[in-house]
Structure formats: structure tokens, C-alpha cells
């Protein structure tokens, strides 16, 4: 129930990767036959990734994952675009985008963080009003990693195009859950991560539309047409390619299955547990995301009790985070502190079943009952 | 990352509740911080005869509450007042780095309850 954190690698993906450790171990840059085999595998993976999102193979740059892709998109475009020093993003982006922006701010660039409504949808009007003559890029995530809210990307990319500004979206959470097509979305750049879609960790891609003026952030031996130097992670990229192919093939089946489980989980929690709220948009949300808050129960305590019952979830509560700060996303949705402390994200995957939902509901009931019996707030 | 002892106190806390006709009550925290610890005591012949807690909060808040109550129960008022945060942490076989920030809250609640008792019996 924590698939937004990561997913198990699909067995077909493992099978595709295995030959690339000891048998086909060549360096894709080498000219001999060992290298050529590796290079061919990279081309196939590039095509698999491109096909899955409606892009051209040459528009795919392999990276070490979603975080590097976000960094490359923003740091590759902003400092090198004719004195354009302004970035527009949202307050609920992933730290990979937010911390990249705050780093650029420290170097003298300007950033506008556009607010969201109580469901987590970005304020498009404020975004449009924030556009300046020197705006280099707009970066807004496709779907939020905590509350699953899906943003009106087509609308935002249209605005960006009108003003001749590059548009990047972090699609790490949406790929494999909802349709992601670069032309339909109208994006110039799009970040993808392999391990969120049953691929291996440590690999991802940035889609960069042909003609985009972007500079590398990693320099070296000019791999990936100079856009990302460093010997390619061949086995990882092969696995990522296979995972993208499978994600595209299974998308409609997976999303129906996950939506059914999601809606069942939400309605059963509302039916059986009191003082609950759903965080995020009721319908414009990822098929696999359930984020709910329980009054009089604290997130980390719920997480640990659920873990003892064999259920893995995550929480936006302050105590559970390394920074000891409550979720910036839930705060941006203006959710009361009491509910933020009691928030749980339950994120589903294709291998979950309705039995898992039954178990989740039972475990939640037991956990909440136990913690509320302990809470001095519950009887006030 | 938590010690076995912490998880034991957290998952099976003893002495949860409110002491009837309490001689002293202490409460610290707020819903904004995300931790509220309420400790109530019954004192007889200068001894903490009964101590109970009710806690809303994280693993550390609950496990330290349970630990503080166990450490204080049966002690004299002076002995209980002399308990330190180190006593609580060592009873729990240590707390992970960065998680000791709110470990003192339960002890604060206990001492507030004892002060409440002392104040009422002046």
C-alpha cells in the first residue's frame, strides 16, 4: 500500500535485464561487438520509452531517475536562456523541483510559487498573471505524489506556448496510472522514473522536445548526445524500457483495477471509521492514490501499528519525516494541523487485490481504535 | 530504527487512562505540535500510588509516556521529581538520533502533575 514510494520489479523486467550483467556487459560506447550489443539494447529501450509517451527516440535522455530529470530540465534551461531568470512552479511540487528552484534563487534567479486550491489544483489564473518578460520555464507536476491530484497540464502548457515559455512537467507519479502523451499534454520536457512503474531503481528519463534549447548539467564523455555524460547504466535502462512497454500495454487494465480498489477503500473507510477526511481532489486524482486523515490519531503511530499488521503506508505527519516538518503539500491545501498529523497515504499497485483492501480496512480500524482509546483528545 | 523496548512500550502501553479522583494532573503539548500528553496521579503517604497517562502523538510520545509512568509509579514524590530525561531514555534502551527532541514532554507532564499535587496540598 506504498506504491507511490516504490514498486517491486516485474519478473518480465528482471528477465530482460539479466543478460546485461555478465553476458552482454559491454560499454555501449565501445566500437567492438560487445559494445555494439549494448548500444543496440539502449536503442531498443529508448524506443520503448519514447513509444510509451508518444515521443521520438531521439527526444529521450536517460538519467539516474526522476530527481536528476527534474534537475536537468530546470537547471539545463534556466541559466542559459538569454538572461531569462524567472521560473514559475507550484507550491506542491516534489522536493526535486522545489529544492532545485530554491538553489537557483540563491544564485540570483527569481521563482514564483503558485498556490493551489483546497483540493490541490493549481491556480491557473495566478500562474498566468505571474508570467513576466524574463520567464524562462514553467514547471508543474502532472500528478501530486502525496495527494494524487491531477493538474490541468494541457491548459497550462497552452498558456506557456502562447507566451513562448518552456513547459516542464514531472510525470513520475502519473506514468503507468493515467495516459501520458507528450503531444496531448503539450509539454516541452517531462520527467519519468523507472522504479515507480515496476522497473529497477536508479534510472529514469527526461523527455526533451526537439528544438528545446537545453544545456547538460553533467559533463564528461558526451554520452546521450552530450546531454548526460557517464557510461550508461545498460541493465537498468533495459529494465526501464521493458517496464515502460509493460506500463503502456497494461495501462487501461491497471487503471480500472486500481480505481476500483481505490474507490472501495475510500468508501469503506468512510463507512466504518468516524472523524475522517479525504485529502486531495475527489475525482481528479490518480487511480492508485488514497490520502486520508484521521482525527485523534497521529500518523507515525498509525504507520508503525499498521506495519506490525503487515501493511506499509506513509504519512505527512511531522514526526515521521527527517526534517520533523509536516507535509508542505497538506499545508498548502490548508488542511488543519490536527488532520495533517493524522494523515496517511495508501498507494495501490497492480498486484494489490480486493483482499488487500479488506485487510487494510480491518488493520486501519484496529489501529485507529487503539490510538483513539489512548488519546486525551478523543473524549473531549 | 527504534529499540525493541521502545516498540514494546509503544505497542503494549500499560497504565493508559485517567486516575479517578486524581490528586494532581499535568498536560503538555498542543494539536499544532502534534503531541498532547496528559498524566494524572494519586498520592498516598507521599507515594505515587497510581499514575496513568493519555497521549496523542507519535511513537516517541507514547513510548516515553508509558516509560515515565512505569518509572514514577511507587516512588516517593521527591524520587519522582528527581527523575531525569536520561533515566527515561535509558529505560527505553535509547532513542534514534533526532527523535529525542520530544522525549522530555512526558516527564514534563509528570512533574506538572506532581507540582499540581504539591500546590493543592500546601
Question: For A262-314, what is each residue's pLDDT tens digit?
Answer: 999 999 999 999 999 999 999 999 999 999 999 999 999 999 999 999 999 99
Q: What is the pLDDT of residue B33?
A: 73
Q: What is the pLDDT of residue A323?
A: 63
E strands, A83-152, are: 86-90, 110-114, 135-139
E strands, B3-120, are: 24-30, 35-44, 47-56
Q: What is the pLDDT of residue A27?
A: 86
Q: Answer yes or no: is pLDDT of A378 > 80.
A: no
CA A337 to chain centre: 25
> What's the ipTM?
0.93
Residue to mutate among A319, A320, A327, A335, with most B CBs inside 10 A, is: A319
Question: For A118-166, what is each residue's pLDDT tens digit?
Answer: 999 999 999 999 999 999 999 999 999 999 999 999 999 999 999 999 9
A12 touches chain B (CB under 8 A): no
Catalytic residue among A312, A319, A373, A377: A319
pTM of the predicted model, to two decimals? 0.94
* A374, closest residue in chain B (CA to CA): B54
Q: Answer yes or no: is pLDDT of A320 > 90.
A: no
Point out the residue among B34, B54, B101 whose CB comes nearest to the CB of A341: B34
All domains in chain A, ordered by first residue: 11-247 (3.40.640.10), 251-374 (3.90.1150.10)
Q: Answer yes or no: is pLDDT of A319 > 90.
A: no
Mean pLDDT of A95-100: 96
Q: What is the pLDDT of residue A324?
A: 65
- List the 297-356 stretch of A: residues with Cβ below 8 A of B: 297-301, 304-305, 308, 317-320, 322, 324, 326, 337-338, 341
**DSSP state for residue A330 in the 8-state scheme:** H
Edge-to-edge strands, sheet with B24-30: B24-30, B35-44, B47-56
Q: Answer yes or no: is pLDDT of A256 > 80.
A: yes
Q: What is the pLDDT of residue B1?
A: 86
CB A234 within 8 A of CB A42: yes
Question: For B41-74, what is each residue's pLDDT tens digit?
Answer: 999 999 999 999 999 999 999 999 999 999 999 9
Q: Answer yes or no: is pLDDT of A321 > 70.
A: no
Work out the minimum CA distance from B29 to partner chain A, whole angstroms.
11
Q: How many cross-chain Cβ pairs, A to B, lie less than 8 Å apart?
A: 68
Output the nine-digit C-alpha cell for B113: 502533575
Q: Answer yes or no: is pLDDT of B100 > 90.
A: no
Output the nine-digit C-alpha cell for A377: 483528545
E strands, chain A, are: 60-63, 86-90, 110-114, 135-139, 166-170, 189-193, 204-208, 276-278, 289-294, 343-347
Mean pLDDT of B91-100: 87
A101 is catalytic: no
User: Cell 506499509, residue?
Assistant: A312
| CATH for B4-120 (3.90.1010.10, 3.30.1180.20, 3.90.1150.10, 3.50.50.60) | 3.90.1010.10
Q: What is the pLDDT of residue A136?
A: 95
pLDDT band (50, 70, 90) for residue B86: very high
Point out the residue among B7, B13, B35 whose CB comes nearest to the CB of A374: B13
Nearest-angstrom CA–CA distance, B67 and A305: 18
pLDDT band (50, 70, 90) for residue A79: confident
Work out the minimum CA distance from B5 to partner chain A, whole angstroms.
14
- Name every chain A residue with its beta carbon within 8 A of the beta carbon of B6: none
Nearest-angstrom CA–CA distance, B38 and B52: 8
Least confident of A54-58, A172-176, A324-328, A350-354: A324-328
Question: For A17-33, what is each residue's pLDDT tens digit?
Answer: 999 999 888 888 888 88
Measured CB to CB, residues of chain B less than 8 Å from chain A are 2, 7, 10-11, 13, 16, 27, 31-32, 34-38, 54-62, 98, 101-102
pLDDT band (50, 70, 90) for residue A51: very high
Work out the minimum CA distance from B45 to partner chain A, whole angstroms.
28
Mean pLDDT of A340-359: 95
Q: What is the pLDDT of residue B103?
A: 79
Other CB atoms within 10 Å distance of the CB of residue A153: 23
Q: What is the pLDDT of residue A373?
A: 95
Q: What is the pLDDT of residue A380?
A: 73
Nearest-angstrom CA–CA distance, A45 and A363: 41
Percent of chain A scoring above 70 in pLDDT? 98
A256 CB-contact burial (10 Å; exposed 0-12 / middle 13-18 / buried 19+)? exposed
Nearest-angstrom CA–CA distance, A143 and A328: 15
- Name every chain B residue with its beta carbon within 8 A of the beta carbon of A367: none
Write down the domain spans for chain B: 4-120
Nearest-angstrom CA–CA distance, B72 and B11: 20
Amino acid at each position: 500500500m506504498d506504491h507511490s514510494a516504490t514498486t517491486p520489479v516485474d519478473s518480465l523486467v528482471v528477465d530482460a535485464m539479466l543478460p546485461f550483467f555478465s553476458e552482454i556487459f559491454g560499454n555501449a560506447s565501445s566500437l567492438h561487438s560487445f559494445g555494439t550489443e549494448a548500444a543496440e539494447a539502449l536503442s531498443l529501450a529508448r524506443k520503448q520509452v519514447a513509444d510509451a509517451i508518444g515521443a521520438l527516440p531521439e527526444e529521450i535522455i536517460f538519467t539516474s531517475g526522476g530527481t536528476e530529470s527534474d534537475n536537468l530540465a530546470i537547471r539545463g534551461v534556466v541559466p542559459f536562456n538569454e538572461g531569462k531568470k524567472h521560473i514559475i512552479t507550484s507550491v506542491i511540487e516534489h522536493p526535486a523541483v522545489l529544492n532545485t528552484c530554491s538553489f537557483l534563487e540563491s544564485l540570483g534567479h527569481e521563482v514564483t510559487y503558485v498556490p493551489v486550491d483546497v483540493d490541490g489544483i493549481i491556480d491557473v489564473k495566478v500562474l498566468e498573471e505571474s508570467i513576466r518578460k524574463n520567464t524562462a520555464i514553467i514547471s508543474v507536476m502532472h500528478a501530486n505524489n502525496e495527494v494524487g491530484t491531477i493538474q490541468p497540464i494541457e491548459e497550462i502548457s497552452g498558456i506557456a506556448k502562447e507566451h513562448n515559455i518552456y513547459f516542464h512537467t514531472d510525470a513520475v507519479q502519473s506514468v503507468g496510472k493515467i495516459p501520458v502523451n507528450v503531444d496531448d499534454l503539450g509539454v516541452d520536457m517531462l520527467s519519468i522514473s523507472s522504479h515507480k512503474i515496476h522497473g529497477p531503481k536508479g534510472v529514469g528519463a527526461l523527455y526533451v522536445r526537439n528544438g528545446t534549447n537545453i544545456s547538460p548539467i553533467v559533463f564528461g564523455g558526451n554520452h546521450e548526445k552530450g546531454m548526460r555524460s557517464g557510461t550508461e547504466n545498460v541493465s537498468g535502462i533495459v529494465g526501464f524500457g521493458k517496464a515502460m512497454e509493460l506500463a503502456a500495454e497494461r495501462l487501461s487494465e491497471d487503471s480500472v483495477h486500481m480505481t476500483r480498489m481505490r474507490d472501495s477503500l475510500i468508501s469503506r473507510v468512510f463507512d466504518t471509521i468516524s472523524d475522517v477526511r479525504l485529502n486531495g481532489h475527489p475525482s481528479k486524482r490518480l487511480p492508485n492514490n488514497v490520502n486520508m486523515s484521521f482525527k485523534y490519531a497521529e500518523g507515525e503511530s498509525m504507520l508503525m501499528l499498521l506495519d506490525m499488521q503487515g501493511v506499509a503506508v506513509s504519512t505527512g505527519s511531522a514526526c515521521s519525516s527527517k526534517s520533523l516538518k509536516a507535509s508542505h503539500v497538506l499545508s498548502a491545501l490548508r488542511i488543519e494541523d490536527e488532520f495533517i498529523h493524522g494523515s496517511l497515504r495508501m498507494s495501490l499497485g497492480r498486484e494489490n487485490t480486493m483482499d488487500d483492501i479488506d485487510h487494510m480496512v480491518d488493520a486501519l480500524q484496529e489501529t485507529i481504535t487503539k490510538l483513539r482509546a489512548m488519546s486525551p483528545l478523543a473524549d473531549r | 530504527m527504534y529499540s525493541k523496548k521502545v516498540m514494546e512500550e509503544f505497542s503494549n502501553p500499560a497504565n493508559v487512562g485517567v486516575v479517578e479522583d486524581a490528586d494532581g494532573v499535568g498536560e503538555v503539548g498542543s494539536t499544532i505540535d502534534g503531541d498532547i500528553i496528559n498524566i494524572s496521579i494519586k498520592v498516598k503517604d507521599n507515594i505515587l500510588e497510581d499514575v496513568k497517562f493519555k497521549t496523542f502523538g507519535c511513537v516517541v510520545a507514547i513510548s516515553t509516556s508509558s516509560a515515565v509512568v512505569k518509572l514514577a509509579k511507587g516512588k516517593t514524590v521527591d524520587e519522582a521529581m528527581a527523575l531525569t530525561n536520561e533515566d527515561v531514555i535509558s529505560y527505553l534502551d535509547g532513542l534514534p538520533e533526532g527523535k529525542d527532541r520530544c522525549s522530555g514532554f512526558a516527564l514534563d507532564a509528570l512533574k506538572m502533575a506532581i507540582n499540581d499535587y504539591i500546590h493543592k496540598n500546601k
